[in-house]
Chains A and B, each alone.
Chain A
Amino acid sequence: MSTALDRLAALLPPERLLVRPVELAAYESDGLTAFRTRPLAVVVPETTDEVIAIVRLCHELKLPFVARGSGTSLSGGSLPIAEGIVIALNRLNRILKLDPAQRIAVVEPGVVNTQVTLAAAPFGLHYAPDPSSQSICTIGGNVAFNSGGAHCLKYGMTANHILGIKAVLGTGEVVEWGGGSRERLGPDWCGLFTGNEGLFGIALEITLQLLPKAECFHTVLAGYCTLEQAGDAVSAVIASGLLPGAIEIMDALALEAATAAVHAEYPPGCEAVLIVELEGPHEVVAIERERLDAILSASSPVEMRPARDAEERLAIWKGRKSAFSAVGRLSPDFIVQDGVVPRRRLGEALRRIAEMSQETGLRVANVFHAGDGNLHPLILFDGREEGALHRAEDFAGRILRMCIEMGGSITGEHGIGVEKRDFLPDMFTADEIDCMQRLRAAFNPLGIANPGKMFPGSEAPSLSHVGLHPLEKAGVISRE
């Protein structure tokens, strides 16, 4: 493989071609830490032309590549390939254009999600998709995985906010679809590209739609004695004809974690907390909040806490968005699942997850986007225990099969990645998978773009989880 490294060295200065094990260690894993692979090299391009040259070289040499932003994928979407390279895109972090009249931003793939909203804020605009990792995850990764967030019910996922994409495909071709207009003619290429999980190529410039920031928010946190009551409250809100920006639920264990991590305070004695947020002009919110408050009051909450100001609203969201990482304080290891069930079957799904938890003896914290039926059970385990990871993965698999059986999906927003590729055939027929494989082959005929993701039967990842992080084993880091 020295040819590949020599050829890469001709494209990039030595400090942007990482090959030493110590430099590669940080890229071995992403948000799905159960899998780890050391790549041949990591390249750090700084311009789109460099990315194009790298991809074309990979095509010429049949060298597999994995594009990576901040490495926050929860499905192992940016897990490296041992015989391939990682293309780290963090330095392509320029906001190329911000047009307040057209309400768009054109950004490079390494721009961090919240940076877009920060840049747009002086114009009263914001970028709507808000995955929990928004303060570090990149737009390129959001596009590759069609990331969601807490506000999908009203505003949709990443794909709904992508107006244009310039990309280099697995064939080396550079394409430009869409642009500044919210409407387009012909097939929706941007829609097809978004969520491709890196199997089609790499987005180089992305045109994002910006929305006016809502004038007024009404965010209510309501505590309940049971999860079921919280679920019933969601059904009542939906049936009322209101369209909240977000409807979220956290269960007791998730509350415990958030309390420990960010000192969030929740009503005592609650088994579940519901967060509902209305937004809009203050005249509209004033009317809708009366309706919402009446519905919630009738749903037997232990306590209702409307946010009285922006600070209190942020505190509610901070607790919610920190829940994933906060669970790390309760358990040495955990698996996050991302299944979707029809909203009306949420209660039933949660009951069955609780039963499975009893059976397996593994604790589960539930944090979910209740408004769109998107569950995030966090299965807690201790990787140092013999067979624990295996039991947790089994449990996760049972949850996914339940989601399919209920007419839902195995992923709402995290993507298939490495993690759920074996479940693809549970959701799609052989013909349907073949159709997607044919599409993959059109964009990426050599299979060099992010191999081993999405499709079952691809080569297995090299290393599996063994408990401690390598730096922990080396005594470099430790947990509280």
Chain B
Amino acid sequence: MISPATLTELRDAVLSAPRVIAVGAETKPRLSAAETVKISTRPLSGITEYEPSEFTFSALAGTPVREIIAALDEKGQYLPFDPMLVEAGSTIGGVVASGLSGPGRFRYGGVRDFILGVRFVDGLGRLLRLGGKVVKNAAGFDVPKFVVGSLGRFGVIGEVTFKVFPKPESTFTLQMPFSSEKMAQLANSRFEIDALDVLPGGETMLVRLAGPAKALEVLAKEIGGEVTDSTVWRVIRETPWSFKADITLDQINDFKTAHVSCGGNVAFSNAPPPRGMTLRGDSPLWIGGRPRFAIEAAVKQALDPQNRFPTLDD
């Protein structure tokens, strides 16, 4: 394990071995379980810029998300997509590389929708900054989005810039029996649902509202169901799920034993899904295959011509 403490050292670390992969707190260990030298980003930690008036911050890859959430909270802001495994120590670099978003992804989008810029070391050992530091930017290719979910296979993340939002005044959680009709109806309603999940077993649906407390009480009455403690979202977020699958509402019945998040768009489970990705354990990284196109090898060649990082299949 190499532990660089600066971006220059990170670059040196990439060049120091023929094959490397970056790891953060290893809260999704299967994603980086490749036969390589490991580079720990954990010493590369700290918020480098935070401008509450701009709705943006930048942080080094190894910064624990917990620290970021605390700093944002002080200014009444938050990352709306509910980063996962925060208490287990997940780092912001790991959040980006894994592309893992929590239940809050439902309303405003996931990691990919809030990342603005990235500094990373490519396979040629170059420290590059792509994207931008402002909330709106269309200059150059959107490499920051590509890095989301790329599992450290195309470069090592050194620093990221994110957009944030003002934190809603309060949240309100309801629980009710699940049906896919009811879920579709709520997802396309006037209520601006904040999160919409189904607990394992497929019986119970959770609905979160966020906004001014006085208004939420009225909305909750109209939606119906049983008021429940909002801490349930913390449990969902912190559960070390073994698998993740991207699904659509019409597939929901095939994922009855899973925790279904984001209005029927994601399934987290501890039993292997028909297809999906392994986050922890010994199963193959990709279950049930994944789409493959020639462009993947060409982009790999462009960013990492010497195969310094493992491939998506390693």
Contacts and interface: CB of A to CB of B under 8 A. Distances in A.
A357 interface: no
Contact of B215 (A169, A179, A184, A287): A287
Interface string B291-309: 1011100110111000000
B138 A284 contact: no
Contacts of B165: 243
B214 A101 contact: no
**Closest A-B pairs by Cβ, 6 of them:** A191-B145, A215-B190, A442-B298, A283-B215, A438-B302, A187-B150
Select the residue from A212, A410, A420, A429 with max chain B CB neighbours within 10 A: A212
Contact of B51 (A186, A342, A374, A409): A342
Given A171-B295, A243-B166, A428 B136 contact: no
Contacts of A183: 101, 105, 110, 246-247, 262, 265-266
Interface stretch (A1-9, A148-156, A320-328): A148-156
B130 interface: yes
Given A173-B295, A280-B192, A287-B214, A156 B113 contact: yes
Contacts of A102: 248-250
Interface stretch (B20-28, B84-92, B121-129): B121-129
A412 B136 contact: yes
Nearest to A213: B190
B145 to A, nearest CB: 3
A439 B302 contact: yes
Interface string B64-79: 0000000000001000
A447 B133 CA distance: 30
Given A215-B190, A243-B165, A442-B301, A435 B133 contact: no
A372 B136 contact: yes
A189 B190 contact: no
B152 to A, nearest CB: 11
A344 B135 CA distance: 12
A194 B295 contact: no
Contact of A340 (B134, B298, B302): B134
Contact of A188 (B99, B133, B169, B189): B99
A133 B148 CA distance: 31
A299 interface: no
B249 A286 contact: no
A427 B21 CA distance: 29
B277 interface: yes
Given A180-B248, A183-B110, A413 B135 contact: no
A16 interface: no
B13 to A, nearest CB: 18
Contacts of A187: 146-151, 153-154, 312
Contact of B137 (A411, A431, A438, A443): A411
A185 B244 contact: yes
Given A173-B295, A175-B295, A241 B76 contact: yes
Interface string B218-236: 1100000000000000000
A343 interface: yes
Contacts of B295: 169, 171, 173, 175, 442-443
Interface string A138-181: 00000001101000111111011000000001010101110111
Contacts of A415: 138
Given A101-B184, A183-B101, A409-B134, A196 B250 contact: no
Contact of A414 (B138, B192, B212, B312): B138
Contacts of A372: 134-136
11 contacts: A102-B250, A173-B293, A182-B110, A184-B246, A188-B150, A191-B146, A287-B212, A414-B138, A428-B130, A432-B128, A435-B143
A425 B189 CA distance: 46
A23 to B, nearest CB: 32
Contact of A191 (B142, B214, B277): B142
A411 B138 contact: yes
Given A146-B142, A186-B99, A428-B139, 19 more contacts: A182-B265, A182-B266, A183-B110, A183-B262, A185-B149, A186-B150, A192-B141, A192-B146, A196-B141, A214-B190, A214-B192, A281-B191, A283-B214, A284-B192, A342-B133, A373-B134, A429-B128, A443-B298, A443-B299
Contacts of B212: 284, 287-288
Interface string A397-437: 00000000001111111111000100010011101100110
Contacts of B294: 171, 173
Contact of A100 (B150, B188, B247, B266): B188
A341 interface: yes
B141 A195 contact: yes
Contacts of B266: 181-183
A213 to B, nearest CB: 9
Interface in A360-391: 369, 372-374
A349 to B, nearest CB: 12
B187 interface: yes
Select the residue from A188, A239, A408, A439 with max chain B CB neighbours within 10 A: A188
Contacts of A148: 136, 138
A52 to B, nearest CB: 14
Select the residue from A176, A187, A243, A410 with max chain B CB neighbours within 10 A: A187
A259 interface: no
A349 B140 CA distance: 23
A440 B141 CA distance: 9
B214 to A, nearest CB: 6
Contact of B188 (A124, A179, A242, A369): A124
A302 interface: no
A125 interface: yes
A168 B212 CA distance: 47
Contacts of A242: 166
Contacts of B303: 435, 438-439
A281 B215 contact: yes
A238 B250 CA distance: 39
Contact of A432 (B129, B219, B263): B129
Contact of B277 (A153, A185, A343, A416): A185
A284 B188 contact: no
Contacts of B128: 429, 431-432, 435
A181 B248 contact: yes
Interface in B48-71: 51, 53-55
Contacts of A134: none
A344 B54 contact: yes
B139 A103 contact: no
Given A243-B166, A432-B130, A184 B138 contact: no
A181 B247 contact: yes
Given A238-B53, A341-B134, A408-B134, A181 B265 contact: yes
B77 to A, nearest CB: 8
A145 B138 contact: yes
A153 B151 CA distance: 29
Contacts of B180: 101
Nearest to A291: B212
